[in-house]
Amino acid sequence: MKKLVNYMLVAFFVVSMSSLSYAKGPFITPGARAAGYGTAFVSIADDLTAIYWNPAGLAYQKDKKIMASLVYLNNNATSDDNSGQKYETTAMVPFMAFSTPFNETTTIAVGAYASGGGGGNLAGLPAGLKIKGEQSFMIYNVSVAKEMNDKLSIGVGVECIEMKDKLVATGVDYSRSACGFQGNIGVMYKPVEKLSTGFMLRSGTYIGLPKETNAANPSFIDGYTYPMTMELGASYRVLDPLNVAFAVSYNKYSWISDSYDDTVQFRVGTEYTATDKLSLYLGFFNDPNIYKDSSSYGVTNIDMYNMQYFTIGAGYDITQTMNVCINYVHSFTQDVVDNGITYEYPLDIFRLDLNYKF
């Protein structure tokens, strides 16, 4: 029993460590093109991921559009304690959206996408023991945008977030789900031809999971709170083939818990139009630690949550109506040292977008 308890504690720590790398802050953000810009997309938002980045961007999309996107995440946490244990996490995160003009100045869009989640298992356990976990966040969005004039647009969106939480281990087996709602409002302003600015406010929400009544199934979390987020950015076409974008976002975590700090994220990216059909992307963004001190989470090195991401990608116009975009993201994170054991958790993310307009 003591060994089982130890394994459960290790599993909880490693699951939390690995899941937080894609489940805190911005979660997994949609769009290969947006990621190619280092997620500095609030002032661009010219594809259907605008329902996430800035719904005001929908107003300038005059065609009927459909977009499908897929994110593959690989996040394996390992340790040097010679136990042979490895927590393996993979996820296939989908995005699907459709938009249509309502009239000459108004566009509406609907979409469904995952903002994070996946399943994993703790490998290297003794025979007869198993620890597997799943957690997911699925978002259903309805957005409307209006072009006030050729320089200014506004957009609003409403989202229903469905959270699912599951853990299967020796003596533990539970599955729960719950929903929360949040609102988005965005503004886009283009004062001159080469410059575009954008602002986005996301209200945040709390998703309370049903309490686990069976004492034999102790649950680790009661729910999850999305932070309130405000983001401001601008993009500027420096030369004909080169567009540069940057953005700053403020995530208010302090209203969730006294143990959390509010964070500021910086995003920067570029797009280089190599040919009439081919575009290349390069970007960088960060995701700072939200914990005030190590006692907040029971680890000795909270700097492990200060994460930086490098992104690279390419887009290609297959036809006048169809476009494909691919992107690769790698995280640069610190190793985790806890009780003399070093944990490593490299994170690699691959994105693929398919866009079609009617």
2-6, 85-89, 117-121, 278-282: which is most confident: 278-282
Task: Note the residue count of the chain.
Answer: 358
Indicate if the pLDDT at residue 15 is higher than 60.
no
pLDDT band, very low/low/confident/very high, at 107 (cuts 50, 70, 90): very high
How large is the C-alpha radius of gyration of the chain?
21
Bigger pLDDT: 166 vs 151: 151
pLDDT of residue 279: 97
Residue 126 per-residue DSSP state: P
Residue 225, token pair as written in the block = 């709170």
- Structural contact between residues 285 and 332, judged by C-beta atoms closer than 8 angstroms: no
Domains of the chain with CATH codes: 2-357 (2.40.160.60)
Cα distance between residue 226 and residue 206, in whole Å = 6
DSSP string covering 290-309: -BSSGGGTT-S-GGGG-EEE
State the burial class of residue 153 (Cβ atoms within 10 Å of its Cβ: 0-12, 13-18, 19+).
Answer: buried
Indicate if the pLDDT at residue 353 is higher than 90.
yes
- Dihedral angle of Cα 201, 136, 264, 313, to the nearest 10 degrees: -90
pLDDT tens string 234-280: 999 998 899 999 999 999 887 767 777 888 999 999 999 999 999 99
DSSP E strands: which ranges in the chain?
65-79, 86-101, 106-123, 131-147, 152-169, 172-192, 195-202, 205-208, 223-226, 228-239, 242-252, 263-273, 278-287, 307-317, 322-332, 336-338, 341-344, 347-357
Of the given ranges (37-41, 156-160, 165-169), which has the lowest mean pLDDT?
165-169
pLDDT band, very low/low/confident/very high, at 225 (cuts 50, 70, 90): confident
State the burial class of residue 197 (Cβ atoms within 10 Å of its Cβ: 0-12, 13-18, 19+).
Answer: middle
